[in-house]
Amino acid sequence: MKLRAIAAVAAIALALSIAAPSATFAQANGSIDIFYVDPLTGTVDFGACQGAAIFSPPFTALFFSEVHLRLNGASAGGISGIEGFIEARVGMTTGTINQMTAWNAVFTPVAGTVADGNFVNQRDTDADTVPDTKRGNFAFANVTGPNPEDGCQNGDGVLLKLGDLQMNQSPVVTPVPNDTWLRFVAGNPPSNASFPCPLVTLCDAPAFSSLCITGGSFLMNPTGESCSVGVEEETWSGIKKLYR
């Protein structure tokens, strides 16, 4: 069984390598990237998909990053909004960032957005005091058409910053587990059952059509694992099933 599993994983890896280069695989209509920010200098590392949290008890526990949309395909002209959630995974277990790391996570969207929900914290939508929704929706204000002068957001034509993701802990007692993955995933539940995916809304007012995009990953405190660009959640789920 183990040999079959290894062979299956190898076959998947080969298929991915044949399909397209890693930087473009599964990103036909755009993808989310999480970039490390040096908390001491504020410098964004646009070339890496992993980094370490600063943990220096008893006073300092910090992690800074930026969340960007990589524009491509149908999203290349710009977007009017985005929906999804940033979850954390340690080993085979997933949950909110707070649940998986014991650190507090805060996502701050860029200026000029209207927010409904949150990318990192669950919320109670049925007023029964139990959090039941993992979904954030952020719309850029005053988008009236497909052009930048209409409010349509296309950043620098390649990357569009969506906001800042910061993590901290107080009191400083527990490090982020090694090989913790942050992953941009579909809202749970999605606002529209026909789009169970990370999504953006286009600038085709008044329709503001929804478009599925790829959810990217970031690896915190890497040790035995490494990250790559463009591996879809469906592929990862398939690999996990081989070892159950």
Give per-10-residue mean pLDDT for the chain (244 aa).
Answer: 40 33 56 92 91 95 96 96 97 96 97 94 84 93 96 96 97 97 96 96 96 95 75 41 35
Residue for token digits 């805060």? Answer: 106
Label residue 150 left, alpha or beta by phi (over 0 means left) and psi (-120 to 50 means alpha): alpha
The predicted pLDDT at position 60 comes to 95
Where are the alpha helices (H) located in the chain, listed in sequence order? 2-19, 97-101, 233-241
Ordered by start, the domain boundaries in the chain are 1-25+229-244, 26-227
End-to-end Cα spacing for the chain: 11
Query: Do residues 221 and 177 lie in contact, with contact meaning Cβ atoms separated by under 8 Å?
Result: yes
The predicted pLDDT at position 16 comes to 32
The predicted pLDDT at position 109 comes to 96
Angstrom distance (rounded) from CA 95 to CA 113: 26
For the stretch 118-125, contacts whose Cβ atoms lie closer than 8 Å and that sit 24 or more positions apart, written own/partner, are: 119/67, 119/84, 119/85, 119/86, 119/163, 119/165, 119/184, 120/85, 120/86, 120/96, 120/165, 121/96, 122/96
Query: Against a cut of 0.75, is the pTM above it?
Result: yes
Query: Do residues 155 and 71 lie in contact, with contact meaning Cβ atoms separated by under 8 Å?
Result: yes
The predicted pLDDT at position 229 comes to 53
What would the CATH number be for the domain defined by 26-227? 2.60.40.680
Cβ neighbors of 149 (< 8 A, separation 6 or more) are none
102 burial level (CB within 10 Å; 0-12, 13-18, 19+):
middle
Residue for token digits 């701050």? Answer: 108
